[in-house]
Amino acid sequence: MVTAEDVREAAAGLVGVTVRTPLRFVAPLNAYLKLENLQPVGAFKLRGAYNAIRRLPDAARQHGVITYSSGNHGQAVAYAAQLLGVRAVIVMPETAPAVKVAGVKKWGGEVVVAGRTSEDRQARAEEIAAREGLAVVPPFDHPDIVAGQATIGLEIAEQLPDAATVVAPVGGGGLIAGVVTGLAAAGSSARVWGVEPVGAPKLQRSLAAGHPVRLERTASIADGLITLTVGAIPFAQITAQRDHVAGVALVDEDALREAVRFLARECRLTVEPSGAATTAAVRSGALRPVPPTVLVVSGGNVDLTQIED
């Protein structure tokens, strides 16, 4: 389990690498936005990726690192590896948005394309890792990843001590597990809601079943939220702190598109559908959180063709 000490150690290790992102109050939402789209790679993923790579033993890093990612974690691993002077190979799906592939290459990552599902990417990454001696940096199912993401919860508790509700999008579960853990580490009493696309309700079904459930298929324009299951480690972290988790809200594709447009037009923020999921939950009425509320905007690497009228 990730402890409060792990979270504080991660926060210290991220100083000078990640941005302490601001909270911005948006009156029409009656909520604060935690702007993780302002991270150097445009998404929260840098927190976990850098924390995981920096904690690898020197011998494990010497040949480089590899991950499997639909985009933002891949960009984060490439960026973190560049900072630490190591090679990075990123296995991405055939459906990865061009903006995210370009982002990986921008930071010096080597792109390998494999299939459409997270299982396809993971299998290919593990094959390459075994052949070339690369260290695998999972996108969410690792304690160092969760500890890195937990620094978001730590910051929210410091920035808004009386927060009653924090809302986080859910892909593999690393972000929401981290937020719950970070808030607890800071002594916050805020309760956490997750948000998933209607086409990818893996955490909702897993919580109902009491164990991680693997969906047969998922689909959404929120490409960062369509994993087939939540990770075992994030799920264990969430269930260990179940009293702090309020539940999971589902949003449809129209709500996601509307939220991206709202954030662009009314807030002048460039946000991808995955990052806009929390706003979509409030705008659509799928969630009516108790204020003061913080909505985590997880990323801003958007392919504008996804949300055109």
Q: Kindly name the residue from 34, 45, 100, 202 that is annotated as catalytic.
A: 45
Is-catalytic flag, 298? yes
Other CB atoms within a 10 A radius of the CB of residue 190 amount to 25
3-state secondary structure the chain: CCCHHHHHHHHHHCCCCCCCCCEEEEHHHCEEEEEHHHCCCCECHHHHHHHHHHCCCHHHHCCCEEEECCCHHHHHHHHHHHHHCCCEEEEECCCCCHHHHHHHHHCCCEEEECCCCHHHHHHHHHHHHHHHCCEECCCCCCHHHHHHHHHHHHHHHHHCCCCCEEEEECCCCHHHHHHHHHHHHCCCCCEEEEEEECCCCHHHHHHHHCCCCCCCCCCCCCHHHCCCCCCHHHHHHHHHCHHHEEEEEEECHHHHHHHHHHHHHHHCCCCCHHHHHHHHHHHHCCCCCCCCEEEEECECCCCHHHHCC
Is-catalytic flag, 202? no
Q: Residue 172 carries which side chain, given as an amino acid letter?
A: G
Q: Kindly name the residue from 70, 188, 206, 298 that is annotated as catalytic.
A: 298
Other CB atoms within a 10 A radius of the CB of residue 121 amount to 26
Other CB atoms within a 10 A radius of the CB of residue 4 amount to 15
What span, in angstroms and rounded, lies between the C-alpha atoms of 80 and 50? 5
Q: Which residues are catalytic?
A: 45, 298
